[in-house]
Copies of this chain bind each other. A is one copy, B any other.
Amino acid sequence: MLIRVINPNTTASMTAAIGRAASLLSGPGVTVEAVTPGSGPASIESHYDEALAVPGVLDEIIAGDAAGADGYVIACFGDPGLLAARELARGPVVGIAEAAMRTATYLGRSFSVVTTLAQTIGRAKDLALQFGVADACAGYHAIDVAVLRLESDPTTYRRLLDGCRTALETDGSDVVVLGCAGFAPLAPNLGDDLGVPVVDGVTAGVAAVRGLIDLGMTTSRALEFAPPPAKTYTGDLARFTR
């Protein structure tokens, strides 16, 4: 099976890091590829970025279906374009916020979300509510590192580790959910250092999609997620005409 992991931002080095993390689940019969959209923001740190990342994500769904992808992971913690992608894609689509938060519910009483910038917490709350996991989320915490500095900043790991410790203690939670795809490479070490499950949505998302594909399941076409009606698009979005 072919699973396409879409990095909704346009920073190729971040796509590469996401791809390396995602490859944990690849193996005989399971190919995982990470891709970068041709348009959109360099990183996603606001509702504005989130919304404007969607056309690029949908481009990659269309291209993926043409390339025979069996399922998709949208690898930004705001799950940009998730529901639109579900209408469009032949196979199942999972967002990493969705996958991380749902996976965490198998592992403990409640989880804390630890993310990059405080400005993104509102989006995480909206998603938790929409996914029905708001009660399981004990708190949201930011470490105040910009997404594109995560790799280069030598203090990232230490700040993230401290942020997780503070979150667990403040919230009385027993699981950590990482609130940014850029944290994916750090998850295993964090789990070891913290002694609690640390869920990264990229790997959790690939595991979820792989499971759905193996179960032979995809998005229901019965009602809301039927294919989008034929429609004329104008301007620089004209390529989305169906």
State the A residues within 8 Å of B (CB): 10, 24-25, 28, 37-43, 45-52, 54-56, 58, 81, 83-84, 86-88, 92, 94, 98, 102-103, 105-109, 117-119, 121-123, 125-126, 129-136, 146, 168, 172, 174-175, 188, 191, 195-197, 199, 203-204, 207-208, 210-212, 214-226, 228-229, 231-238, 240
Contacts and interface: CB of A to CB of B under 8 A. Distances in A.
Given A92-B106, A203-B215, A229-B45, A10 B175 contact: no
Contacts of A233: 10, 39-42, 52
Nearest to A37: B235
A213 to B, nearest CB: 10
B25 A229 contact: no
A47 B212 contact: no
A208 B52 CA distance: 27
B119 A105 contact: no
